[in-house]
């Protein structure tokens, strides 16, 4: 596992470009996400347990926006159904290269993994029983989210489950402010400076677009998921199981 500390925004940037999932990010990603997303480890671990319950033999499990494969490996170690395969999808070549390296060092993965360099919006999905979209839908333009979820619901076998985790927001400005403030306190408590918090925020502002829980649940139902059940909530981060 790459264990480099995230210092990407620790010195002033002359020109802050939009955040990109490039090689520099891939090198520090585990540290970055653990210090930035409260409950990230719980979401990953629970994804494996939920997948174990819903996986069906001879189907695909997809981990979309797999990054370094933390959720992918949770699926591969928990699920024991016969003749399953995992499709781990990410458009970032740098992320996938690191993910492959980490997976090669994980001996207790039971399920073969196909590492797929692709955009989730274009990929032709095979029949699948589990899909994880952990902190990935938030990077897809809002107007394209329903089409992607609809394609996923159509690819799922009856009884299948989508696991969706996202950074969310709330309607009431005062509640939103307190959630943002405590999230920044969480980052400070994890060693990020004011400069790092401010620069990361500026670079990701128009790239990571959160929505409310109500919008997510309404859209999941419109996409064809009949039951949507929350499994995780910590500050402004939430996770749902959506069944077809
Ligand atoms: C984890 N799920 O560790 N199609 C597929 N992937 C995409 C797309 C797209 N259109 N756009 C961005 N990504 C992981 C963490 S990180 C979350 C997910 C974060 C990918 C992008 O390349 C990146 O690897 C991932 O989504 C988001 O459980 O960085 O906050």
Which tens digits make up the pLDDT trace of 71-112? Answer: 999 999 999 999 999 999 999 999 999 999 999 988 888 899
CA of 95 to the centre of ligand 1 (A): 9
Q: Please provide the distance, in angstroms rounded to a whole number, between the alpha carbons at the two ends of the chain.
A: 35
DSSP structural state of residue 16: -
Does the CA dihedral 204-180-134-2 come out positive or negative?
Answer: positive
- If one residue of 20, 90, 145 were mutated to test the ligand 1 pocket, choosing by the most ligand atoms within 8 A of its CB, it would be 90
CA of 232 to the centre of ligand 1 (A): 19
Query: Would you state the pLDDT for residue 195?
Result: 82
> Mean pLDDT, the chain, as a whole number?
93
CA distance 134 to 61: 14
Query: Would you state the pLDDT for residue 7?
Result: 78
Ligand 1: residues within 6 Å at CB? Answer: 21, 33, 44, 64-67, 70-71, 89-92, 95, 119-121, 134-136, 139-140
CA distance 235 to 29: 21
Structural domains for the chain: 40-169+208-243 (3.40.50.150)
Contacts of 231 (CB under 8 A, 6+ apart): 46, 50, 163, 239, 240, 241
Please name the residue whose Cα sits nearest to atom 17 of ligand 1. 135
CA distance 184 to 178: 10
- The model's pTM is 0.95
Give per-residue pLDDT as tens, 153-176. Answer: 999 999 999 999 999 999 999 999
Point out the ligand 1 atom lying closest to the alpha carbon of residue 123. 4
Higher pLDDT, 199 or 37: 37
Q: List, edge to edge, every strand of the sheet that includes 237-243.
A: 113-117, 85-90, 60-64, 128-134, 156-167, 237-243, 227-234
Higher pLDDT, 11 or 84: 84
Q: Could you tell me the two tokens for 17?
A: 């470009």
């Amino acid at each position: 596992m790459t264990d480099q500390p995230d210092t990407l925004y620790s010195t002033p940037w002359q020109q802050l470009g939009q955040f990109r999932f490039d090689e520099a990010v891939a090198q520090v990603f585990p540290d970055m996400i653990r210090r930035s997303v409260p409950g990230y480890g719980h979401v990953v671990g629970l994804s494996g347990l939920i997948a174990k319950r819903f996986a069906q033999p001879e189907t695909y499990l997809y981990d979309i926006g797999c990054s370094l494969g933390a959720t992918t490996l949770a699926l591969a170690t928990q699920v024991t159904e016969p003749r399953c395969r995992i499709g781990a999808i990410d458009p970032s070549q740098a992320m996938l290269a690191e993910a492959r390296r980490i997976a090669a060092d994980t001996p207790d993965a039971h399920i073969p993994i196909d590492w797929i360099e692709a955009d989730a919006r274009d990929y032709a999905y095979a029949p699948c029983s589990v899909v994880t979209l952990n902190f990935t839908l938030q990077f897809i333009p809002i107007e394209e989210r329903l089409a992607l979820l609809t394609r996923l619901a159509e690819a799922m076998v009856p009884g299948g489950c989508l696991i969706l985790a996202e950074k969310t927001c709330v309607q009431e400005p005062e509640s939103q402010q307190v959630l943002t403030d405590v999230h920044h306190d969480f980052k400070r408590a994890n060693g990020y400076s004011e400069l790092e918090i401010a620069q990361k925020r500026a670079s990701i502002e128009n790239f990571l677009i959160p929505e409310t829980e109500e919008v997510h649940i309404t859209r999941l139902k419109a996409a064809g998921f009949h039951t949507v059940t929350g499994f995780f909530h910590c500050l402004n981060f939430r996770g749902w199981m959506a069944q077809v």
